[in-house]
Each structure stands twice: as C-alpha cells, then as structure tokens.
Amino acid sequence: MATLLICIFILIVITGICYSRGHSTIKTTLVTQTKLNGSSTKHLIQNKIQGIIQNNTIDLDVCWRFHEATERQYSRIREYLLEIDCPAPSSLTKGQASDIIGLFREPENEDLEMLKFFKINHIHKLNQTESRWKLHEIFLDPNNVALWENKPATTEQKELIHYLSEEQVTNISFDQASDLLDELIDENEEKHDEYELLYIYTILF
C-alpha cells in the first residue's frame, strides 16, 4: 500500500512537470518558425489552412470529423493565428478545425513511434497534422498495416516481462507481448507497482 501511495505521489509530480512543459511548448512547431522566418511562414500557414479547407484533409471514415466545429476549437484557432497576424477561417468542420490546430502542435509520441518504425526522414520537422497525414498515406498500403501489426516487441516490453515472470522472451511480436503483459500484470500487481516505481525513480534521478 505504501509503495502504491509513493507511486501515485511521484506520478502527480511528473504530471505537473509535463503539463507545465507541454503548455509552454505546445505551439513551437510553426510559431517558432514564424519568429525566425517572418511573413514567409505566415503565407505558408495560410496555404496549409487553405489546403485543409479545400481538400477536407484526410478522407477518414470518422463521423465526428464532419460535424460542425466547436466554439472551443474556433477559440483555439483564433488564439494561435492572432500571434502571427493571420485571419481565422469560419464555417469549419470538426475535422478541419482539428487539422488546423494540429499545425501548431508537436506530433503525438505514438505517431512518432510509427513514423520511426517506417523510417520516415525529417520527422522532427513535422507538426501533428502533417504526421497524421503521413501515417494515413502509409497505412493505405495493407502491407504496411501487416508490418506494423506484426512488429517485434520493444525492449521495454521484454524487460517488463522478464521482471514479472523471470523468463527471457525472444521471438515475440509487439501485440503478443502486450497480451502477455496484460496477464502478467493482473497476476503480479504489487510487483508491477514496484517496477513502475523503479522506472519513475530512474527518470527523476
């Protein structure tokens, strides 16, 4: 119980640190470029927004993308575009608004992991929306879907399996390792808490 409480406390501390860092850097991708490049980046952003509006971006079979954008999305867009003196568009869908907001955000960690797996170059230059477009193109190919689904287990997965089961695993896929870890964690909750505490400790110290 004490171990669990310590884990919770440390997680709260880390969450606060990550939030403060994330909040201050959320718009670095294009806003930083704007400060360096001036009006050229402003025109670049305007062109990207126009492309999003005209093409409706990714043709995803997701109903919410075609609903009307929320006031919160419009407010966020106005906030971002105000910094670069760029007019905010109106009459957007949720999908379009989401993609415009994504122009000002860093890619999700999971998206970066997939892009690295497929050896995409210059991913550090991509924003959140561009990374999603790239992944959409990649996964249009069924062979790439199969490659990702059958990718090998990560080093972190293998280490955790070894810690919980005291067995070494070699030829195992990412999904197989995930399923095995679900079982092992259910059977060894306290031991998993210890592992999490050790992992957090290594990050902090």
Q: What is the pLDDT of residue 1?
A: 53
Distance CA 121, CA 125 (A): 9
Give the pLDDT confidence of 46-79 residue by residue, as tens digits. Answer: 888 888 888 755 556 678 888 999 999 999 999 9
Q: What is the pLDDT of residue 137?
A: 92
Regions of the chain where pLDDT drops below 70: 1-40, 56-61, 201-205
Q: What is the pLDDT of residue 108?
A: 92
Give the pLDDT confidence of 20-47 residue by residue, as tens digits. Answer: 444 434 444 554 454 434 456 778 888 8
For the record, the structure tokens of 156 come out as: 């972190």
- Domain residue spans in the chain? 27-106, 155-204
Query: Which positions ≥6 away from 153 have C-beta within 8 Å?
Result: 161, 169, 172, 173, 174, 176, 177
Q: What is the pLDDT of residue 134?
A: 94
Q: What is the pLDDT of residue 27?
A: 46
Distance CA 44, CA 34 (A): 10
Q: What is the pLDDT of residue 36?
A: 39
Q: What is the pLDDT of residue 40?
A: 65
Q: What is the pLDDT of residue 32?
A: 47
Q: Which of 183, 185, 161, 198 is nearest to 3 (CA)?
A: 198
User: How would DSSP label each residue in the chain?
Assistant: -HHHHHHHHHHHHHHHHHHHHHHHHTTHHHHHHHHHHTHHHHHHHHHHHHHHHHH-SS----GGGGSBPPHHHHHHHHHHHHTTT-PPP-S-BHHHHHHHHHTTSPPPHHHHHHHHHTT-TTGGG--HHHHHHHHHHHTTSHHHHHHHHTPBPPHHHHHHHHHHH-----S-BHHHHHHHHHHHHHH-HHHHHHHHHHHHHHHH-
